[in-house]
Amino acid sequence: MEEQNYWKRLSRKRFSRRAMLGTTATTALGGAAAFVVGCGGGDDDNGGPNGSNGPTRTTPSSPTPGGTITQGRLLSVLGIDPHIDLTGLDIDLLLYPYLYNWAPGREEAVFNNFAEALELPSPTEFIFTLRPGVKNSPIGPAADQELTSEDVKQSFIRRGTSITAPDKRFAFKIAGGAGAELLAPALITPDPYTFSFNMSEPFVPGVREMANPTWAMVSKVVMERYLYLSQDAFGAGPFMLDEFRGNERVVMTRNPNYFIKDRPYLDGITYIVITESSSLLSAFTTGQHDVNGAILTRDQYEEFRDDGDFSVATAPSLFYPVVHLKMRPPFDDIKVREAMDLAINREEMINNIQSGEGQFNGPIQWPQLKWALPQDELRDFYQYDTARAKTLLAEAGYPDGFNSRLKLPKISGASFIADTAVLLKDQLGQVGINIEIDEVELGAFIGSTLLPGNFDMAFFPNLPYDEPDRPLAFYHSKGVTGTGNWNSYSNPELDALIDAQAREFDEEKRIEIVQAAQRLILPEHGPQITLTGGFQYSARWNYVHFPFEIDGQLDPTVLVEDGAQYAVESGSAPFGAEIWTEKV
């Protein structure tokens, strides 16, 4: 059966040494600011020093334990509660254990974390064997206590039922409905090292979902003591929290109880928050930061690439910007939505915002190679035609255009967000759609604008996804939360396709359904108007070593180490545990 083959492929090894691909660390906007993706082991070095603050380049034969690194961060960390907050997920990965990690390019679970193995007797039944001896750090209410299956159960309940949890659909599939009273009895803990559940129906994205950074394993004792963990952390990850000042710095030190006894290599990691991009970049180039946190342009990336004191990497950006439209006048009229699509010059957007390197996005962003629609199809569909746009607006009853307000998150250091909004304002204004830009503080934008659907138009670079179900869910009548669509949009035919792809185990058949769903979405011209996506660039001083990196100039589904493309085969520890520095 296809479902049995699918699950067997995903869990075919009890323990995999394949490294977790770094994109999981950018599943929140804060992760993009910290930009841990790409800070890898394949170096673009040109030799010795060039007069800057870096040391003479050497290449040790093995990692050196000890030392600390400082990484710049563009965004304030609004909170580090993994089940609730979204801007600190890259930090959560360092503080908490997870059942397992994920290699997106290979679409495989990586059992180098809390779970040793996953058994899948049927398409709906999951049985985890947990690793003995995974202990909490020596601080907090659960100090030195071993994590067990009961902690996993309570973490699932909290993650799946918290009011502000970003997506509860997987939990609903497990419980057969909404609410802790349904979820709790569905989670089985026959002994301290076995955790299982049987879903109410098959959900193919479920295996990927459990490796999402929001599914951290937190001690039951900690959750009983703390209603919220937004400024506190007591976990069993490679590091433990030493200081949290989300607008200034987050300091983490080595967890001496970490289950891999010679990990992490580093004694500590410090994130320094500087929300002004040029100042953040200056702190890196002058040696105050070891890892860059500013968003780099292509030109800046090339300057670092050509400098022997730095290592760089580039990858297709899984962040993809969209304009959300509320399905009420004027946007409930398809002619208005089509006019907006026709008024947007996507080639100009690529040239002005993405250094000429971008691609067109459909409902699924272009780096999701096998799921996304072909570029020639998208470019043929998204035509730029202001004359036709004006005609459609007149037919819709707006011969003189109309006024609207575009809400977007206010992030001073991420200029591409405001720059894109200004470009949209200019382009739409040319056909009479007059936009007032309304910048909203990030926390309020997420909690008071986007999640409750409190907008007519909202612009936001959607979080990165490497599984097709999540971006499609934005178009489902139940939305990504499983409780309702932000845009008040509903299409029963589309709902059926989105539900079907989530149940389809045959990959080729699933690709067909996913692409059919996108082709149904395109002529709707909403409720999200998709824009273009480009590349992201990273840099670090070359005495800092990450065990993996992505090179978007090659195959973005394959990692690169020491300049050679290879299938994801390095790294035996979860993210962060194998970072090391020569400056000890």
3-state secondary structure of 438: strand
3-state secondary structure of 358: coil
Contact 520, 497 (CB under 8 A): yes
* 502 and 550 both lie in a single domain: no
Residue 282 falls within a domain, yes or no? no
- The alpha carbon of residue 118 and the mean position of all alpha carbons in its chain are separated, in whole angstroms, by 24
Q: Which helix (H) or strand (E) holds 197?
A: strand 194-198
Write down the pLDDT at residue 6. 55
Q: Residue 498: phi, psi to the nearest 5?
A: -65, -40
Residue 298 falls within a domain, yes or no? no
* 544 and 456 both lie in a single domain: no
3-state secondary structure of 147: coil
* 570 and 527 both lie in a single domain: no
* 467 and 562 both lie in a single domain: no
C-alpha torsion 272→276→281→282, nearest 10: -90
Give the C-alpha distances (Å, rounded to integers) separating 248 from 76, 245, 274, 281, 298. Answer: 7, 5, 7, 16, 28
Side-by-side strand order, sheet with 115-122: 115-122, 125-130, 194-198, 187-191
Q: What is the radius of gyration, based on Cα positions, of the chain?
A: 23
| 438 burial via Cβ count (<10 Å: 0-12, 13-18, 19+) | middle
* 413 and 541 both lie in a single domain: no
Say if residue 238 is preceded by a cis peptide, omega within 30 of 0. Answer: no
In CATH, what number is assigned to the domain containing residue 56? 3.90.76.10
* pLDDT values of the chain reduced to their tens digit, one per residue, 584 residues: 555 555 555 544 332 222 222 233 332 223 333 322 222 222 222 222 223 333 333 455 589 999 999 999 998 999 999 999 988 999 999 999 999 998 876 778 889 999 999 999 998 999 999 999 999 999 999 999 999 999 999 999 999 988 777 778 899 999 998 777 899 999 999 999 999 999 999 999 998 999 999 999 999 999 999 999 999 999 999 999 999 999 999 999 999 999 999 999 999 999 999 999 899 999 999 999 999 999 999 999 999 999 999 999 988 887 778 999 999 999 999 999 999 999 999 999 999 999 898 999 999 999 888 899 999 999 999 999 999 999 999 999 999 999 999 999 988 777 888 999 999 999 999 999 999 999 999 888 988 998 889 999 999 877 767 889 989 999 999 988 777 888 999 999 999 999 999 999 899 999 999 999 999 999 999 999 999 999 989 999 999 998 765 433 334 334 333 333 323 333 478 989 999 999 98
In angstroms, rounded to a whole number, what is the distance separating the alpha carbons of residues 62 and 270? 23
In CATH, what number is assigned to the domain containing residue 372? 3.10.105.10
Write down the pLDDT at residue 105. 67
* 94 and 218 both lie in a single domain: yes
Residue 507 falls within a domain, yes or no? yes
Residue 306 falls within a domain, yes or no? no
* 334 and 382 both lie in a single domain: yes
Q: Which helix (H) or strand (E) holds 510?
A: helix 507-521
- Provide the residue range defining the domain that includes 116: 2-235+537-581
Write down the pLDDT at residue 10. 53
Write down the pLDDT at residue 570. 38
* 517 and 564 both lie in a single domain: no
Write down the pLDDT at residue 299. 93
* 551 and 521 both lie in a single domain: no
Using the 3D structure, point to which of 518, 533, 548 is the last residue of a domain. Answer: 533
Contact 88, 78 (CB under 8 A): yes
* 459 and 542 both lie in a single domain: no
Overall domain count for the chain? 2
Residue 314 falls within a domain, yes or no? no
Residue 398 falls within a domain, yes or no? yes
DSSP conformation class of 311 = E
Residue 247 falls within a domain, yes or no? no
Using the 3D structure, point to which of 516, 533, 550 is the last residue of a domain. Answer: 533
pLDDT tens profile 168-188: 889 999 999 877 789 999 999
* 363 and 434 both lie in a single domain: yes
* 435 and 571 both lie in a single domain: no
Residue 264 falls within a domain, yes or no? no
E strand intervals along 65-210: 68-73, 101-103, 108-110, 115-122, 125-130, 187-191, 194-198
Q: Residue 176 pairs with which residues in a beta bridge? A: none
